[in-house]
């Protein structure tokens, strides 16, 4: 009988069997919770139930992905096995108020650094869905689509200079990872190049391409499909940046102990994207990376402004990455999807 079922129906039937098996799992034969053997039996049965639950989740995830091309809560399916975080679609009540508050915060931070004689470069990183729009299937709310222009206009009104990074990243063949929230190293390199200092003639740092690795993006956690096919892993290029002359920094910057500081999110903190190395190469200066994962863009910059390291050793330049979507997310939202 099974061999005569159409493929999709058989697919659903197998998943259903897994779920029914899980639901019928009970604790028959396990006596009162009195002794070690009873506890061990209970734990073994509980472990079996967890395994069945994981199998069931994988089956139903496979059904959603392979039959309906849907991701689980937390991700949005795109074309050609692309995934996007659902945070880039979020337009909850209070959207405009949070955007305005974020603009005020950015302006306040820039004003503080400027008053201290520190150059600050805010990097407003466009959404992945904005740059890789040819892979987007589900339309985004109009307010979200207009957000980057709104931010640029709001920063201009507050006399904060920022680079429009949309053309910079759009010029990269693949600026963002297919199954990950983050940019590719190539996207990070393009942004670093956009703030390079053309007046500096030295070559203190050099970057070279290394061996590619297989990368399973963070958004795959929202598309469990095992044992059936899913979006799959992708190739990730890796890079190395070396300092050509260990004494060059002192010659260039005199008594400055920390020429540059990098603050922000996992776009900067995660070494796999190599943003720190690309900045060293582009700016020809050493960079202290104080970016944090899981904290968003605003908490780390506020903590740095209040830190002893800033008070005692102010840098020449601060580079601050601000992913666009965080300007309207609720502040309880972290840095990971």
Alpha helix stretches (DSSP H) within the chain? 7-23, 36-68, 95-115, 128-131, 142-145, 147-157, 166-170, 185-194, 248-253, 266-269, 275-283, 298-305, 308-312
- Spans of all domains in the chain: 2-68, 94-327
Q: Dump pLDDT digits (tens) for 193-223.
A: 999 977 666 678 999 999 999 999 999 999 8
Q: Which residues are catalytic?
A: 180, 182, 266
Residue 100 neighbours by CB under 8 Å, 6+ apart: 154
Residue entry with tokens 């509980």 = 46
| Alpha-carbon gap, residue 22 to 30, rounded angstroms | 17
pLDDT number for residue 201 = 60
- pTM > 0.85: yes or no: no
Q: Dump pLDDT digits (tens) for 49-97.
A: 545 555 555 546 555 666 656 777 899 999 999 999 999 999 999 999 9
């Amino acid at each position: 009988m099974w061999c005569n079922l159409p493929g999709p129906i058989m697919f659903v039937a197998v998943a259903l069997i897994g779920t029914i098996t899980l639901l019928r799992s009970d604790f028959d034969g396990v006596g009162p919770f009195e002794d070690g053997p009873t506890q061990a039996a209970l734990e073994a049965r509980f472990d079996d139930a967890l395994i069945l639950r994981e199998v069931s989740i994988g089956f139903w995830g496979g059904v959603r992905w392979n039959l309906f091309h849907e991701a689980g809560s937390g991700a949005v399916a795109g074309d050609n096995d692309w995934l996007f975080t659902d945070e880039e679609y979020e337009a909850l009540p209070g959207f405009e108020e949070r955007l305005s508050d974020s603009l005020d915060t950015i302006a306040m931070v820039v004003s503080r650094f400027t008053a201290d004689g520190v150059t600050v470069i805010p990097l407003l990183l466009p959404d992945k869905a904005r740059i890789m729009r040819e892979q987007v299937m589900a339309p985004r709310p109009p307010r979200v689509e207009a957000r980057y222009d709104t931010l640029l206009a709001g920063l201009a009104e507050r006399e904060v200079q920022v680079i429009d990074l949309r053309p910079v990243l759009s010029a990269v063949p693949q600026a963002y990872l297919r199954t990950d929230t983050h940019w590719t190293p190539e996207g990070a390199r393009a942004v670093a190049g956009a703030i390079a200092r053309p007046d500096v003639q030295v070559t203190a740092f050099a970057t070279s391409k290394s061996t590619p690795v297989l990368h399973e993006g963070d958004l795959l956690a929202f598309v469990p499909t095992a044992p059936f096919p899913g979006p799959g892993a992708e190739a990730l290029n890796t890079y190395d940046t070396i300092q050509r002359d260990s004494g060059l920094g002192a010659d260039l910057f005199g008594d400055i102990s920390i020429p540059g500081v990098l603050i922000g999110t996992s776009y900067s903190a995660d070494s796999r994207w190599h943003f720190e190395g690309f900045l060293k190469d582009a700016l020809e200066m050493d960079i202290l990376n104080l970016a944090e994962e899981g904290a968003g863009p605003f908490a780390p910059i506020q903590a740095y402004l209040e830190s002893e390291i800033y008070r005692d050793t102010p840098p020449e330049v601060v580079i601050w990455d601000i992913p666009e979507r965080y300007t309207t997310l609720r502040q309880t939202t972290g840095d990971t999807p």
